[in-house]
Structure 1
Amino acid sequence: MNIYIDENIPYAKEFFADLGTLHFFAGRTVTADQLEDADILLVRSITQVNEQLLSLNNSLKFVGTATIGTDHIDQNYLKNRGIAFSSAPGCNKISVAEYILSSLLVLAEKQQFELTDKSVAIVGAGNTGSAVFDRLNALGVNCLLYDPPLQLAGDKRNFCSFKDVLAADIISLHVPKTVQGKFATVHLFDESVLRQLHSRQILLNASRGEVIDNQALLKLAQQGMMPTLVLDVWENEPSINKDLLPFVDIATPHIAGYSLDGKVRGTEMLYHGVSRLLMLTATHRLQEFVPLPAVNSVSISQRLDQALLKSLVHLIFDVRRDDALFRQLIDQPDGFDTMRKTYQERRELSTLTVHSSVKQNLLLASLGFSTCALNDTKENDEI
């Protein structure tokens, strides 16, 4: 089997070496010529898999994307050719949710507010939006869900209106890129919608850049009419409109889902998909390959408030690091992709075991931390 793999899919060699001959390629620049003899193709979101890319290939049996999103895959074309397809739904939902949590804790400190005093509208209630909801809801934040397709499909959760979304203190976007149809998401936040927001709100986008009309966003930002902005995704990546950067409080290059754990989880899911295709037993697990983090255990001896939570979260992931690196690298040639390709290792909160009282451990676990009860009963009672 000739297995062609995006060079930025982590631990692909370890997972797939037993299954065939591995060929690694640059996802942004891969060509039809390179993939002519591919039996299996594994990509990330930057590779458009369509008839043009596969025009010279007659042997392809399987395409997999190590991502939640699938808008870069022409699934109808694959189906017509009888090529099996698999994605990695939910693989990086934890990573994105922790990106949102880290960002909000930074802004809460900067603007001096308590998250529990704010309302948060989560636009898109799939895997990622639900993960965001679960964490903020555990903290006691008033969370609203907006997802008309899920609501019409019979999802029994409580959903809000789009008017409610625009009235929320914080709006977090977690929708797929959908170009057509009643619930298209491209430019869901166009100029008319953006004009209804105000400077006391916070708008976060960690879904797809096209969900917000970036040109309209810049126009209104230059007029001082924008909320606080957190943008991980941008229109026209990697050739983004850099004029937006001065107006964005937290800016990163599409790395919200880039935790090592999330990326390897995506690789593992593709490995299981390929194993099923080949009717082989999957023998590898991500735990074989992922190392222990540098900091993996801590004890807390006081009540968990927002300031202490920020300290714990930022022991693992402080989004300000990525914001600073992005602003430093973006003016370099291929700066957007350079940072993605050379992204510094980032772990998930589950890799940190927090020793605390049994009562507080319930909250910590719901936020994603691993937990362990303190041995001192008296200390537990006092927390």
Structure 2
Amino acid sequence: MNIYIDENIPYARDFFTDHGNLHLFSGRKVSAEQLIDADVLLVRSITQVNEKLLRLNKNLKFVGTATIGTDHIDQTYLKKRGVAFSSAPGCNKVSVAEYILSSLLVLAEQKQFILNDKSIAIVGAGNTGSAVYQRLNALGMNCKLYDPPLELAGDKRQFCTFKEVLEADIISLHVPKVVGGEFPTVHLFDQQVLSQLSPRQILLNASRGDVIDNQALLTLAEQGLTPILVLDVWENEPQINQQLLPYVTIATPHIAGYSLDGRLRGTEMLYQALCDFLQLKVKHTTSDFVHRAAINRVSISQKVDQPLLKSLIHLIFDVRRDDALFREMIEQVDGFDTMRKTYQERRELSTLTVDSSAEQNTLLQLLGFSTNVQNETKETHEI
């Protein structure tokens, strides 16, 4: 069996080597000629899997994407050919939620505000939006969810209107790319919507670049009329509009979901799906390959407030590192993709065990940390 795998899917050799002959390829540059004898194709979001890519292949049986999004996959075409398909829903929801949390803590320090004084509208209440909601709600923020498809489908959670979204202090986007239909998301934030936002608001996009009209955003930015911007995704990646960069407070190259743990979770989900498809026994799990985090245990002796929380989270992930690297590397040829390909290892908060009092554990756990009840001993002092 010939298994073709994007070279940036982590630990692919470890998971799939027992299944057949492995062929690694560049997800951005793969061609129809390369895939002519593929039985299995495993990709990421940068590869458009459609008839054009697969026109020369007659053997394909299974396609998988190690991502939560599926807009890069022509599932209708695969179904027509009888090719099985699997994705990795929710694999990087924790990573994206921690990106949002890290970004908001940076902005809170820069702009001198308290998070639980702010309202946030989370646009898209699926796996990722729900993970963001859990963490920010635990901090006492006034969290609102907006997701018309889920609301119409009978989701029992309370949802807000789009008017309420635009009135929130913070807006965080977590929707898939949807073209057409009743609820399209392409240019959901177009010139008309963007012009209703004020410079006092915060707009974060860690979903798909096409959700925001980047040209309209630039036009407003040049007039000083945009909210504070955090952009992880951009239109026309990797050839983004670099004129936007000076107006973006935190800018990164589509790496919000790029924690090692989240990416490994995606690989493992594809491995399990392929084993199921081939009716083979599952032999490996992520724990067989992942190593212990460099910083894995700390002890705190005071109540978790915002400054302490920022210190704890930034022990694991400080988004300012990625922002600085991105601004430096984007000037290079293929800088956008190079940073993604050579992305420095990043772990999730769960890899850090926090020793604290029992009353602090609930909050820390909701934020994603591992916890342990700290032994409280009385100190004695000899004089």
Q: TM-score, normalised by structure 2?
A: 0.98
Structure 2 counterparts to residues 52-131 of structure 1, below 5 A: 52-131=52-131
Question: How far, CA to CA, are the matches of 2:285 and 2:202 in structure 1?
Answer: 39
- Structure 2 residue 50 is the aligned partner of structure 1 residue 50: yes
Question: How far, CA to CA, are the matches of 1:273 and 1:174 in structure 2?
Answer: 25
Alignment partner, residue 308 of structure 1: 308
Alignment partner, residue 157 of structure 1: 157
Structure 1: where are the runs of 5+ without partners? none
Structure 2: where are the runs of 5+ without partners? none
Alignment partner, residue 332 of structure 2: 332
Question: How far, CA to CA, are the matches of 1:182 and 1:111 in structure 2?
Answer: 38
The Cα shift of 1:283 comes to 1.1
- Structure 2 residue 247 is the aligned partner of structure 1 residue 247: yes
Question: How far, CA to CA, are the matches of 2:371 and 2:66 in structure 1?
Answer: 29
**What is the letter of the counterpart of residue 222 of structure 1?**
E
**What is the letter of the counterpart of residue 95 of structure 2?**
S
Alignment partner, residue 188 of structure 1: 188
**What is the letter of the counterpart of residue 353 of structure 2?**
T
Residue by residue over 1:227-257, the C-alpha shift from the partner in whole angstroms, topping out at 9 and shown as x without a partner, is 1000000000000000000000000000000
Question: How far, CA to CA, are the matches of 1:163 and 1:378 in structure 2?
Answer: 54
Alignment partner, residue 290 of structure 2: 290
The Cα shift of 1:182 comes to 1.5
Alignment partner, residue 16 of structure 2: 16
Alignment partner, residue 370 of structure 1: 370
Question: How far, CA to CA, are the matches of 2:366 and 2:350 in structure 1?
Answer: 10
Q: Displaced runs of 4+ in structure 1, greater than 6 A?
A: none
Question: How far, CA to CA, are the matches of 2:51 and 2:38 in structure 1?
Answer: 14
SS of residue paired to 2:27: coil
Question: How far, CA to CA, are the matches of 1:112 and 1:256 in structure 2?
Answer: 24
Residue by residue over 1:180-220, the C-alpha shift from the partner in whole angstroms, topping out at 9 and shown as x without a partner, is 11100000000000000000000000000000000000000
Question: How far, CA to CA, are the matches of 1:302 and 1:360 in structure 2?
Answer: 9
Structure 1's 151 and 377: CA in aligned 2 closer, same or farther, altered over 3 A?
A: farther
Residue by residue over 1:346-377, the C-alpha shift from the partner in whole angstroms, topping out at 9 and shown as x without a partner, is 00000000000011011100100000010116
**What is the letter of the counterpart of residue 161 of structure 1?**
T
Question: How far, CA to CA, are the matches of 2:334 and 2:282 in structure 1?
Answer: 37
Question: How far, CA to CA, are the matches of 1:341 and 1:73 in structure 2?
Answer: 21
SS of residue paired to 1:53: helix
The Cα shift of 1:332 comes to 0.2
SS of residue paired to 2:79: helix
Alignment partner, residue 352 of structure 1: 352
Alignment partner, residue 237 of structure 2: 237
Alignment partner, residue 266 of structure 1: 266
SS of residue paired to 2:51: coil
Percent sequence identity over aligned pairs: 75
Q: TM-score, normalised by structure 1?
A: 0.98
**Alignment coverage as a number of residue pairs:** 379
Alignment partner, residue 203 of structure 1: 203
**What is the letter of the counterpart of residue 90 of structure 2?**
G
Question: How far, CA to CA, are the matches of 2:333 and 2:3 in structure 1?
Answer: 30
The Cα shift of 1:258 comes to 0.1
Question: How far, CA to CA, are the matches of 2:259 and 2:312 in structure 1?
Answer: 17
**What is the letter of the counterpart of residue 271 of structure 1?**
Y
Question: How far, CA to CA, are the matches of 2:234 and 2:179 in structure 1?
Answer: 16
SS of residue paired to 1:52: helix
**What is the letter of the counterpart of residue 190 of structure 2?**
D
**What is the letter of the counterpart of residue 312 of structure 1?**
L
